[in-house]
Chain A
Amino acid sequence: MSARLRIGIVDYGAGNLPSVDQALRAVGASPQVIRTADELATVEALVVPGVGAAGPAMDRLRAADLVDPIRSWVARGRPLLGICLGLQLLYDGSDEDGAETLGLLPGRTMIIPDAPTLPHIGWNQVVRRPARLDDPLFAGIRDGADLYFVHSYAGRPAPEADEAIVGETIHGGRFVSAIARWPLLGLQFHPERSGPVGLRILANAVDIMRVGALAGPGAVAGGWRPDPVGAGGTAGRD
């Protein structure tokens, strides 16, 4: 096994850092907290965690001067895993607070449609897209596995980014619960709180980021293509 992947957990005051930190350690990564742009130089991959609302989260990212550094991190093809709110922030904007978000993945965050209860709290199934049944992000996980959610909003990639969708979940209406498009990974559920199954998915994500960061996305099992990310992106060639 190669050296432990140095992962920066972006701390912008949005809670649940200890859970993510402990889970990353449990799967053999070496996490550290990132509070300033300078600290990005010391890590090989980023995790953007988060619970809470999109507007205040973006305000705090801006106040910490982390918005542009995160955008250029992704533009250089370096891996980033967004969890829950951290995934929602990857899209262009959110209906929650009308916030403009990071704009790294074309699409928008909306409230879960036709939900019988909100927030959506508890264990629900992630059903993979037929084309992504063998995706390395879910290696070793049966289709329809139960994972822990706690949120009211979820993002959906724009039609031109539809292939980023790995899995979806139903709570009344259908929403996107997992995406993967190099160098972005995103999980709407909390792998750090989803028991052994969640830890396995987190371990998969760490593996993907390690291999991709080292040798480029073409080296990731499952044949990920080095899709450009965002306008003029040069992802995968850095």
Chain B
Amino acid sequence: MLCHRVIPCLDVADGRVVKGVRFVDLVDAGDPPTLAGRYADEGADEIVFLDITAAPEGRGTLLDIVERTARRAFIPLTVGGGVRSVDEMRDVLRAGADRVSLNSAAVADPRLVDRCATRFGRQAVVIAIDARRVADGWEVVVRGGRDGTGLDAIAWAERSADEGAGELLVTSIDRDGTRAGFDIELLRAIRARVDIPIIASGGAGGPDDFVAAIADGGADAVLAAGVFHRGEWSIGQVKDAMSAAGLPVRHLAEPMS
């Protein structure tokens, strides 16, 4: 049975991991490869690495950091931030990423999803959707949550899947950094419309929130940054809560039988 993944997110600005509080007022939280290695040892099922300064400043992903991070952790690494083309995605994969997440560039050109999926397979393409609540649903926001697009987030999720996305990384911008729990309604609304896996992001405060994102929101995997970076909860504690709730998780074990 497929385990639910617990994924620490390394938001990186200027080569350092930072904690995001609504994507502004960032506080330094460490060296990306060091943190990735630590989380891998603690039982993280995957690492998501987002170069959050990339899109606003229009520069490419920091390939050397990706390379150093990938070398430290023999677990899957998903990388996003500033990837705008098939060639840039190739470069990030070459640097050691297993999968690449697309955000602003895919919103600007949805066919980019199809081109990347055709070239690298849909399993390599993660579409990151930053969603903000509006009167009649959720709106897609881009550029690290700074700009609204007028695009309906649920419709965009469905379109992304149709274009060939292999997974959705759904972040509630309203909840991000608040520790008020994931936006369960947002997750449910997207779950009802797509069959590809969903990673829930934005709002994790405690172990029960992770359980709810999966049990109530229908997410396949859960992601958080600050609660892990600040040491409030460990990967293991979150997995223990999930396991107690009857959700299958991977437990660290000695390879020997």
Footprint of B on A, CB under 8 Å?
15-19, 22-23, 26, 51-53, 56, 85, 117-125, 140-143, 145-146, 148, 150-152, 170-171, 190, 192-200
Determine the distance from Cα of A196 to Cα of B75 in the docked complex, in whole angstroms.
9
Task: State whether the Cβ of B76 lies closer than 8 Å to any Cβ in chain A.
Answer: yes
Specify which chain A residues have a CB less than 8 angstroms from the CB of B250 in the assembled complex. Answer: 123, 146
Establish whether residues B119 and A56, one from each chain, have CB atoms under 8 Å apart when the complex forms.
yes
Say if the beta carbon of B242 comes within 8 Å of chain A. no
Decide if B76 touches A193 in the complex (CB within 8 Å).
yes
Q: How far is the CA of A87 from the CA of B94 in the complex (A)?
A: 21
Contact segment of B102-110, B121-129, B142-150: B121-129
Residue from B45, B67, B76, B221 whose CB has the most chain A CB atoms within 10 Å: B76
B210-257: which have CB < 8 Å to A?
220-221, 250, 252-253, 255-257
| The residue from B119, B197, B252 contacting A121, defined by CB atoms under 8 A apart | B197
Residues of chain B in range 1-56 having any CB-CB distance to chain A below 8 Å = 1-5, 40, 45-46
* Besides the known contacts A119-B167, A119-B197, A150-B76, 5 further A-B residue pairs in the complex with CB atoms under 8 A apart: A18-B96, A122-B5, A148-B75, A170-B1, A195-B75
- B70: chain A residues at CB < 8 Å are 18-19, 22
The A-contacting residues of B in range 109-159, CB under 8 angstroms, are 118-124
Complex contact B121–A53 (CB within 8 A): yes
Q: What's the least CB distance linking A120 to chain B, in Å? A: 7
What is the CB-to-nearest-CB distance from A205 to chain B, in angstroms, rounded to a whole number? 14
Q: Which of A23, A85, A117, A197 contacts B195 (CB 8 A)?
A: A117
Could you tell me if B118 and A56 are in contact, using CB atoms closer than 8 angstroms? yes
Q: Is the CB of A141 within 8 A of B255?
A: yes
Q: Does the CB pair B2–A171 fall under 8 Å? A: yes
A217 to B225, CA, bound (A): 48
B65 to chain A, nearest CB (A): 14
Residues in A neighbouring B95, C-beta threshold 8 A: 18
Chain A residue contacts of B90, Cβ below 8 A: 15
**Which listed residue, A120, A192, A198, A200, touches B2 by the CB 8 Å rule?**
A120
A200 — nearest CB in chain B belongs to which residue?
Answer: B255
Total A-B Cβ pairs within 8 A: 124
A111 to chain B, nearest CB (A): 12
The 3 closest A-B pairs by CB, nearest first: A52-B121, A142-B257, A119-B123
**Given A18-B94, A18-B95, residue A122 in contact with residue B255 (CB < 8 A):** no
The reply on B184 being an interface residue by CB < 8 A is no
Q: Are B255 and A145 touching (Cβ within 8 A)?
A: yes
A18 to B73, CA, bound (A): 12
Query: Are B220 and A122 closer than 8 Å at their CB atoms?
Result: yes
A117–B199 alpha-carbon span in the complex (Å): 13
- Nearest-neighbour CB distance to chain A for B120, whole angstroms, equals 5
Query: Would you list 15 pairs from A and B whose C-beta atoms are within 8 A, ordered by A residue?
Result: A18-B71, A18-B94, A19-B70, A26-B74, A51-B120, A51-B123, A85-B121, A120-B2, A122-B5, A140-B257, A142-B253, A190-B76, A193-B74, A195-B75, A197-B255
Partner of B67, one of A18, A119, A194: A18
Most buried by B among A17, A120, A124, A150: A150
